[in-house]
Amino acid sequence: MDAPNDEAFASSEPFCIDTMEAHEWLQWVLIPRLSSLIDSGMALPTAFAIAPYYEEAFKDDETRDYVDLLNHLRELDALFKQ
Whole-prediction pTM: 0.83
Q: What does the pLDDT read at residue 65? A: 85
- Sequential pLDDT tens for the chain (82 residues): 799 999 999 999 999 999 999 999 999 999 999 999 999 999 988 888 999 999 999 999 888 888 999 999 999 999 888 7
- Judged on CB neighbours under 10 Å (0-12, 13-18, 19+), 54 is buried
